[in-house]
């Protein structure tokens, strides 16, 4: 059974990211939003799909990462927060 994530905010995190690997928080527990700090470890979220999502940026770029955790295209915002 999939446990509903906790929304950290009802808006995207618009950030300038450097080229490289990043880990998006999909559970909403991280204190380092929108990035994972492993706060899901030892909780009901551990082992859930999309709880911590590794993604790559091939160049330095501005991105809009999901804050509500309801996006259908994680880790990126798809506007799902507008219907919550």
Cβ distance 36 to 69 under 8 Å? no
DSSP letters spanning 29-42: --SSTTB--STTTT
Residue 23 CB neighbour total at 10 angstroms: 17
pLDDT in tens, 16-48: 999 999 999 999 999 999 999 999 999 999 988
pLDDT higher than 90, residue 50: no
pLDDT in tens, 54-69: 999 999 999 999 999 9
Report pTM: 0.93
> How high is the pLDDT of residue 49?
86
Of 22, 29, 33, nearest to 67 by C-alpha is 33
> How high is the pLDDT of residue 2?
79
Backbone angles phi, psi at 72, to 5 degrees: -95, 0
pLDDT higher than 80, residue 1: no
Structure tokens at 80: 């799902």
End-to-end CA distance of the chain: 22
């Amino acid at each position: 059974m999939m446990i509903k994530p906790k929304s950290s905010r009802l808006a995207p995190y618009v950030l300038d990211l450097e080229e490289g690997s990043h880990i998006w928080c999909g559970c909403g527990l991280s204190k380092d939003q929108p990035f994972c700090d492993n706060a899901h470890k030892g909780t009901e979220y551990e082992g859930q799909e999309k709880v911590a999502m590794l993604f790559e940026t091939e160049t330095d770029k501005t991105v809009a990462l999901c804050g509500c955790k309801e996006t259908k295209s994680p880790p990126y915002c798809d506007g799902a927060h507008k219907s919550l």
